[in-house]
Structure 1
Amino acid sequence: MNNLEASPVAITSPSPGELHAHLSAYDSIELLAVGGMGAVYKARQISLDRTVAIKVLTHTCAASMQFRQIFKCEAQVMAKLNHPNLVSIYDYGEVNGMLYIVMQFVEGRSLHEAANGRAVAQNESATLISKTCKALEHAHSAGILHRDIKPANILIDSKLTPVVVDFGLAHHAHESTMKGETVFGTPGYTAPEVLVPPYSADQRADVFSLGVLFHQLLTGQLPQTPYLPPSRLAPVDQRYDAIVMRAIHPTRAMRYSSCEAMACDLDKILSGKELTASPLLLTPAVHPQLARSTQPKLASIPSQTATRITPINRHISGTPAHRSQHSSALPSLTNHNTSNAKSMVVVLAACITLAMAVIALLISSGNQEGQAPVATGGLPSSSSATPSAPNGR
């Protein structure tokens, strides 16, 4: 059974007062968000005087043994991991049938919000993905697959550091989904082998999701069918095309064998090194797990100005509120040009064009008076102005 697009259900969650009655070790409780499976609260741990995030399984999901098991699995998985780019867990328990997880409270916002549905500067995107790759490599080394990497599940803290959250769909690497078992995931980000028999997945499923996410950050949109590499959609270094196309190849044997290998190639580009010579692994134009494009022609795709993610002062919890997020609108960011050099070239070209027009006007005026055009020390000649034009390209 595929549950990538679950039908909406009535969601209820404890009020802050009700939660405090169950968890008296915490006060200043504030409801932050309610998602399809859990409610997230901001609270103060009284004994240590620190701010924490408390995630509670909603009343609706608490009635399901399957969701209770998923919630418990999330806590157990998080407890095994210790990495600066993975959210930390402090406690897990059950009170009067209410399951809860106490975890690190991250100051910032989700990447889903921060990207604002637009392209992010290419080197900033590469840095975020590289750090996320290393975080997931740590999880993979512990035998844990995330299986739901997407912008909403990556938080950006006040120092613009990515923190991977929501291990609710995590799986042990040696386990396979059984026939008839519900398959969870997010449309567009989930690797094709997760969705078709025998429903097997390894670390390359997370590599696929990272590739989709990287494409989205570089271009402001999910990969489409027919597939176009990032550099065809935005001003992007073509070396990043090779990384994206290898990561999202529908045949997992053609992908990076690990998140560490993908991070290594990203770091090479970021440090000014060349990638190891290898044939470009093209992604087929018709990809079984890429979104269908309603405007497949390149000419119909509007150009985008890349943005930089800026830190903000507000707080968010250690886990996002929603699982479905690939089409939502987001807060604004600070604009920047992808290449300042290109802007200066355009200005220079405009100045040269204006100068040539003035010269042409003077020459025309001189000819009308029956005099030959003469270059003087106070005016550049037309021959001296013309060669500058190619520099404006």
Structure 2
Amino acid sequence: MHQDVLLGGRYRLGAQLGGGSEAYVNEAWDLLSGKTVAVKIFRSTNSLDNAPFRRELEIHGRLRHRNIVRILDSGDTDSRGDGAGVGQDNRHFVVMELVAGKDLRWILQDKPASPEQTAAWMTDVARALAHVHRRGIVHNDIKPGNILVDFASDPGGPGVAKLADFGIALNGRHGVPNSSSGTPHYLSPEEVCGGTSTTASDIYSLGLVALECLTGTKAFPGPPLESMVARTLGEPRIPGTVRRRWSMVLHAMTDPDPAGRPSASQTVGMLRRLSW
């Protein structure tokens, strides 16, 4: 897909912002609203193999929350309506708000976040999880790359964290996808052992992200297989440099027993108390 292509007769593609195995994301100019947006274009050109697109649209598209990246529109490259040539391959796309910031993976490249930043961002994501969990949805891929921090809407503050990418989310209608069940370095012990991802699994993954924010390093580093095996042998090591109150929260979120972890709503309360 080339830059300057017009999708749906409305969205003029700009620079590519990122991508994964199932889709890539481009900046785009919405000619109708005059705003800049993000367009997620799915790689599959098989109209029968559109499960990732349907999952994103049917699960993510219905969510409205301050801490969840909002889907604005959807379509396919064959419905451009302007005669602009984009080749013979028809692909589905969703249009999302463009967050004026970076994802946590990029932010943590240079140095760890402060405890205050971490508490603010993780509280935001826990609020988003409480919202989706109440609706019977498991995100199933909590990791730094799926958490965007919007600095523009919080000038002078830590920024507002927003949860993105529901491409492998689970709910009553959409079960475990064939292609993936989360990112190896952030899987819960039960997922590593072949169990089903649950709301408690999202909390475990968020605990690993919080620990990475505070330390600047993954809780279980190394190659994916080595990292996953380490998850089954014990809890993540929390350095002595992490404050005791933080340590208690992280131990609760990463309890090896899913039943021992707090719910998303309880996690919000625990994280908020860290700021007092």
Q: Equivalent of 2:137, from 144, 148, 154?
A: 144
The corresponding residue for 1:252 is 258
Cα deviation, 1:283-325, whole Å, max 9, x if unaligned, reads xxxxxxxxxxxxxxxxxxxxxxxxxxxxxxxxxxxxxxxxxxx
Q: C-alpha distance in 2, partners of 1:44/1:175?
A: 32
The corresponding residue for 1:80 is 62
Q: C-alpha distance in 1, partners of 2:173/2:73?
A: 26
Q: C-alpha distance in 2, partners of 1:144/1:194?
A: 16
Q: Could you tell me which amino acid in structure 2 is paired with residue 206 of structure 1?
A: D
Q: C-alpha distance in 1, partners of 2:68/2:165?
A: 10
- Do residues 16 (structure 1) and 8 (structure 2) align? no
Q: Equivalent of 2:215, from 214, 219, 222?
A: 219
Given that 1:91 and 1:103 are in contact with CA atoms closer than 8 Å, whether structure 2 keeps it comes out as yes
Tell me the CA shift for residue 122 of structure 1.
1.3
The corresponding residue for 2:105 is 112
Q: C-alpha distance in 1, partners of 2:236/2:189?
A: 19
The corresponding residue for 1:201 is 197
Q: C-alpha distance in 1, partners of 2:31/2:175?
A: 42
Q: C-alpha distance in 2, partners of 1:265/1:86?
A: 20
The corresponding residue for 2:39 is 54
Q: Could you tell me which amino acid in structure 1 is paired with residue 9 of structure 2?
A: S
Tell me the CA shift for residue 108 of structure 1.
0.9
TM-score calculated relative to the size of structure 1: 0.58
Correspondence 1:147-226 to 2 at 5 A: 147-158=140-151, 159=154, 160-172=159-171, 177=176, 181-197=178-194, 199-224=195-220
Tell me the CA shift for residue 129 of structure 1.
0.6
Q: C-alpha distance in 2, partners of 1:35/1:229?
A: 30
Would you identify which runs of 4 or more consecutive aligned residues in structure 1 move more than 6 Å? none
CA, structure 1 residues 131+173, in 2 after alignment: closer, same or farther (shift >3 Å)?
Answer: farther
CA, structure 1 residues 41+196, in 2 after alignment: closer, same or farther (shift >3 Å)?
Answer: same
Given that 1:145 and 1:203 are in contact with CA atoms closer than 8 Å, whether structure 2 keeps it comes out as yes
The corresponding residue for 2:238 is 230
Q: C-alpha distance in 2, partners of 1:64/1:119?
A: 43
Given that 1:117 and 1:221 are in contact with CA atoms closer than 8 Å, whether structure 2 keeps it comes out as no
- Do residues 263 (structure 1) and 268 (structure 2) align? yes
Q: Could you tell me which amino acid in structure 2 is paired with residue 265 of structure 1?
A: M
Tell me the CA shift for residue 182 of structure 1.
4.5
Task: Point out where structure 1 has 5 or more consecutive residues left out of the alignment.
Answer: 1-13, 272-393
Cα deviation, 1:155-205, whole Å, max 9, x if unaligned, reads 111231111111111111686549xx44421112011222434x3232101
Q: C-alpha distance in 1, partners of 2:260/2:48?
A: 38
Q: Could you tell me which amino acid in structure 2 is paired with residue 250 of structure 1?
A: P
Q: C-alpha distance in 1, partners of 2:61/2:214?
A: 33
Correspondence 1:292-303 to 2 at 5 A: none
SS in 1 for 2:67: coil
Given that 2:13 and 2:26 are in contact with CA atoms closer than 8 Å, whether structure 1 keeps it comes out as no
Q: C-alpha distance in 2, partners of 1:46/1:175?
A: 34
The corresponding residue for 2:127 is 134
Tell me the CA shift for residue 44 of structure 1.
1.6
Tell me the CA shift for residue 64 of structure 1.
8.1
Task: Point out where structure 2 has 5 or more consecutive residues left out of the alignment.
Answer: 79-89, 221-229
Question: Identity percentage over the alignment?
Answer: 26
Q: C-alpha distance in 2, partners of 1:138/1:228?
A: 27
Q: C-alpha distance in 2, partners of 1:30/1:222?
A: 30
Q: C-alpha distance in 1, partners of 2:13/2:179?
A: 38
Computed over aligned residues only, the root mean square deviation of the Cα atoms, in angstroms, reads 2.2
Tell me the CA shift for residue 95 of structure 1.
3.4
Given that 1:118 and 1:221 are in contact with CA atoms closer than 8 Å, whether structure 2 keeps it comes out as no
Given that 1:143 and 1:174 are in contact with CA atoms closer than 8 Å, whether structure 2 keeps it comes out as no
SS in 2 for 1:156: strand
Q: C-alpha distance in 1, partners of 2:204/2:126?
A: 11
Q: Which has the higher contact order (CA 8 A, sep 6+)?
A: 1
Q: C-alpha distance in 2, partners of 1:217/1:264?
A: 19
SS in 2 for 1:133: helix
SS in 1 for 2:185: coil
Cα deviation, 1:332-381, whole Å, max 9, x if unaligned, reads xxxxxxxxxxxxxxxxxxxxxxxxxxxxxxxxxxxxxxxxxxxxxxxxxx
